[in-house]
A and B are shown apart, each in its own frame.
Chain A
């Protein structure tokens, strides 16, 4: 298919762009296969380049022959284009609609994007399971790397290499896989160096109504416990939801069959509910006419902040079991690809200082989200402005980022990255020139030949010039477990994302710059003092001052 077929009118002059808190721009609108471009064709004026993939939905309006298109983006921005001429406007609108809803992944921009920078370090090699396993081996010999899933037949959503208890052979793994939803048998997610406790993740067991059991599954998870030790199974669903799952063949671990494990149920919402929550939240944030009461009640009704609190609490609980109770943990929900990953990855941020560095965080996303089979493409196909019936869209990853931001707010000196890094990840998960977030699993990504045909987000982010924007000037590494407060009074609305386009951030940005300036000036002064001291010491050892009194 040619993009040209979809572009009915490639160019319109005299288009006026309105954006909140910015001057209007009049210029020429161009449509390309992947971008909507608006340029005033004057020097020194910024051009608008908008990826079609970033467009969530559009609205058309006409007053006489002047058409208006309101473009609502997945990064939550809303812009308005005034287009003279009814036909042009209709053509542009239908082109945008077609181009922003292309079904085929291989037509996406990442397959056409050629980087203007030299790739120094290939981001596709950021996380290598073998190397990660070597690190693990240096700490414990209880685990092995299994190739049981090398052709993705045991579990299509898992990667080909998986870390499993040493004593469990591949045959048992296959049997355990057949007992778990989607074949997602329990695998290692995190090893807590301090006390040797582990966190595993899986999908729900397929106990069904008649209480099926699977010896291999029981053996598999028991193999992770030391003699006489107990463990916790954190089921992200409420008891009621887990009970209901039985009717559809799912279920939860029966005490009788897992006597060494204690099950804790939490109430992290399932992904389909989350989409509704996001839509309501963004609607509340975008309505400028709210009275105080209406705003608070709409914020409450969106349930977004409740979701943040519930996910964080569950992650803290998992971390508490591991660090404080000295117990191993198995986390799962239903499919094990959404709430499970939110919990395991957040727990690692709390427990493991390495995850709070830029590199470490990238590896965490690579390992606990991309490789672990979070279906990014399905979940991020639409964002808050989708009008259609949601299929499998859900802001699972955005909620995770929001939770990270909450911890970052509470420990502003403990993260190497800043808020912009998190916002950047949100944007790229929904629309990007990079291939990182395409596909739903490792298997799909291999089939799409992403690593050959597209550029990795990390190749770009990790360039020193880019990295600079994402560094937190307050960062001072510490090796501590960081326990966030989850009291509602401590959790804030993530304004950087949800109010980003609804307020002028000039004053806040300038204040931030001033803060960075103070920090940098401090470093500069310290260096100066040190070099002067050295110089002085040198002179003093060489000879005394010229005029000693």
Chain B
């Protein structure tokens, strides 16, 4: 690779973000990854960082021990290297600067990533999600809704998919007319159909109404949507923006629906802030959370000042409003914001997830993302900074959606087939550019890039490791008894998502993971059931009838359940006993690290490593770092005592 000047640097120090701990190792720079291999042979941890994951590289001023290099990743990892020689540091720095700014799509990892699958397997991967089948599942087309071919050639709206569903009474001229009256041509189309009440969730962009403009076709369009629902005479129009923002847009010839011109609509502002506010909010949040020796006061004040949870709650409130209107009132709802690809996607997707248990399954969640985010043109390339970065376009809109789902899993632990690791893994890959799904800004662009021929689908990959993402307490009967989720939006229900934003800061996580433990047991239950069956068959060969066997006194020899090769994210799993033994043998540090938290098996598949780190370090790392008064005093005390 012409951009790599120094492929390998030895004696590099990796500093822990929150304590004074450091390890020494070798830094390797490859075409796709930055790799750090610890030199200590017993616990050699490896850190693989994909270039696409790097958000920024910073070279700090030279210190006595070397040249510090600070790398910030989009998956919220932060690594701090100290490179002995400044020249090496500079080489790595400038190579990275070039490598993390790909200039063309061809440079993205997805186009070189090869998981050793043949063409047929790849094709099957891409066929896993079929949106036509999804609309059929909802009961569309039906007597009121039909598939339109108006956008077959992307002529009406470039950023919409080819296949769109509209009311049967919406003729082509109405569609085309309406699209001309909407930002970026994004006219109202169906995204979710609530069969039980025949109520529709539609989405679009803002109308180009300015102060007084109107468009008969657009008015007809909304009426057609209204007429398609016999349950309710009127439809809700949710403008997900704060009113002030919508008003400001009027001056630019855009704006919102005038209730006088649209009969039978109920107009509602929801007040979700725009992408710039969200970007700033996350930045503030991360700044606070990255502070060393953070006090509780600064943590809570910082959490409040960042506004992050307030924004999460606003999105949730909007989704709940949508779900209630549809499921309780049986009304159809039209959702829009400005362009209809950020807040609209958040609210439509989250609202559908509240209404339909299918979207709470692993497969269904993939379908939901494919539908409301990918096909309807959420600008992943821009928002996630994949290529040719415009910092003003970057925003954690999709991350917020994932977080809202996580907040729901906290309130409804049995409602989701997947655990938070599924959400975190998706987040990882939205930024990894390893799979084709999230590349580009629209369906049309993805077709131009021939992604289905040249890259692999993330969904196939995730399904192949499905067992890692299962929620062990998921219950089908819960889904049946709670088809619609009604979360509480009390402020105290919204929590800081530590496992997302501190995914790689292992010292902060619970040392033993309930999730992982129960998942292992559930897996082992399945195997044990098989063993019981096999043993029974064998016994039958002896002519023994085996059905009424009751659990007997504990056996002398306890047989451990055989465990799956890996649990979460491909870390080698020792059996509990083995771990225990190892710990007992450890002379110096007896630390409980029985079950490394699932999250800390951080060398994820995307980074292609299976090395695990040991333990969680010395005490200073766990309850104090340099600035912590306790430890300072302690160290100070020791120092003074020795001299």
Contacts and interface: CB of A to CB of B under 8 A. Distances in A.
Interface in B405-426: 411-415
A499 B583 CA distance: 38
B528 A525 contact: yes
Interface residues of B, number: 96
A412 B514 CA distance: 7
Interface string B579-590: 010011000001
A410 B510 contact: yes
A482 B475 contact: no
B517 interface: yes
Contact of B584 (A266, A291, A479, A530): A479
B310 interface: yes
Given A313-B624, A503-B490, A522 B510 contact: no
B521 interface: yes
Interface string B298-312: 111101100101100
A486 interface: yes
What class of interface size applies to chain A in its complex with B?
Answer: 35 or more
A414 B492 CA distance: 28
Contacts of A265: 633
A474 B519 CA distance: 12
Contacts of B478: 510
B117 interface: no
B628 A313 contact: yes
Interface in A300-329: 300, 303, 305-306, 308-309, 312-314, 316-317, 320-321, 324-325
A529 B560 CA distance: 11
A533 B630 contact: no
B309 A480 contact: no
A483 B620 CA distance: 10
Contacts of A515: 472-473, 514, 518
A316 B532 CA distance: 46
Interface in B492-535: 492-496, 498, 502, 507-514, 517-518, 521-522, 524-525, 528-529, 531-532, 535
A518 interface: yes
A504 B486 CA distance: 12
A89 B46 CA distance: 71
Given A296-B304, A299-B300, A519 B518 contact: yes
A233 to B, nearest CB: 10
A187 interface: no
A140 interface: no
A290 interface: yes
Contacts of B623: 312-313, 316-317, 320, 483-486
Contact of B296 (A291, A305, A474): A305
A288 interface: yes
Given A295-B491, A296-B303, A320-B634, A411 B518 contact: no
Interface stretch (B159-167, B333-341, B541-549): B541-549
Interface string B604-637: 0000000000001011001110001111011001
B534 to A, nearest CB: 9
Interface stretch (B69-77, B143-151, B195-203, B591-599): B591-599
Contact of A527 (B309, B494, B536, B552): B552
B120 interface: no
Contacts of A306: 295-297
Contacts of A414: 512, 592
B494 A292 contact: yes
B524 A522 contact: yes
Nearest to A292: B310
B313 A292 contact: yes
Interface in B219-249: none
Nearest to A314: B630
Contacts of B414: 507, 510-511, 514
A483 B622 contact: yes
Given A292-B310, A412-B510, A478-B594, A320 B619 contact: yes
A531 interface: yes
A474 B641 contact: no
Interface in A170-223: none
10 contacts: A288-B490, A412-B510, A414-B512, A474-B514, A481-B592, A485-B507, A510-B414, A529-B528, A533-B559, A545-B542
Pairs A-B, 5 closest by C-beta atoms: A295-B491, A488-B299, A511-B413, A300-B300, A262-B637
Interface of A: 230, 232, 262, 264-266, 285, 288, 290-297, 299-300, 303, 305-306, 308-309, 312-314, 316-317, 320-321, 324-325, 409-414, 474, 476, 478-493, 495, 499, 502-504, 507-508, 510-511, 514-515, 518-519, 521-536, 539, 545-547
Given A292-B309, A476-B576, A532-B535, 11 more contacts: A264-B634, A291-B491, A292-B304, A292-B494, A296-B301, A410-B512, A414-B512, A491-B296, A510-B414, A518-B472, A525-B528
